[in-house]
Amino acid sequence: MVAKGDLSGSAREIVAMAREKGVPIHEVDRAALERLSPAHQGLVAIASAYKYSSLDDILARAAERGEEPLIVILDGVTDPHNLGAIIRSAECAGAHGVIIPERRAAGLTATAVKASAGAIEHLPVARVTNIVRLLAELKEKGLWILAAHTSGEDYTAVDLSGPVALVVGSEGDGVSRLALEKSDRRVTLPIRGRTESLNASVAAGILLYEVVRRRS
């Protein structure tokens, strides 16, 4: 759906590429776009609902690349903006997938998809019924479980090489007690200021790139 009138810059390019791919283009009044998305920039794409992947899909992706698995597990992250931002960071860092719980957590809503800035189109996201059972299964498959936690070891002193599943907890409560018990190590980012902790998506991004640095 494209606003009537002249389009400039990247909007014009997007419309041209859409036409080349056979995507239907509908010119509408700007008011129609406002009702769908107040923050639009002259065009809105209507996409089908996102299809979740599975753990097997994620592990197969790592095998196809010939790489040690790198998985991000979100334990109760409820803010869709954080979910989208973490998906974006994970895709940029070359992770093989993100796993979220089915209940009491943000899902792939329109807000989360937008916050991912397109990364959701390139990175598998799976949902599971029980995070603790998932961690046990990953440990059986040889992955190291690393949980982000304020009382953990300094992340620079922990071996982050090898197959890794990084667990990031909710914005308020952090990683749950049972998930911590299933983790092999707890890692923390040093806080030099007075704020108690970093935003979940920021912490995930820093830890992901530390894994990338160790692997390079």
Torsions phi, psi of 86, nearest 5? Answer: -70, -40
Average pLDDT, the chain: 92
Tens place of pLDDT per residue across the chain (216 aa): 998 887 777 888 899 999 999 999 998 998 888 888 877 888 888 877 788 999 999 999 999 999 999 999 999 999 999 999 999 999 999 999 999 999 889 999 888 998 999 999 999 999 999 999 999 999 999 999 999 998 899 999 998 889 999 999 987 889 999 999 999 999 999 999 998 888 999 999 999 999 999 988
Global pTM value: 0.83
Fold that domain 55-215 belongs to in CATH: Alpha/beta knot (3.40.1280)
The CA distances from residue 148 to 25, 73, 125, 206, in Å, are 45, 11, 20, 11
pLDDT at residue 125, rounded to an integer: 97
Beta carbons within 8 Å of 206's beta carbon, 6+ residues apart: 155, 189, 198
> Tokens for 29?
């009044």
CA distance 58 to 123: 9
Quick one: CA dihedral 75, 81, 87, 90, positive or negative?
Answer: negative
Q: Domain segments of the chain: what residues?
A: 2-36, 55-215
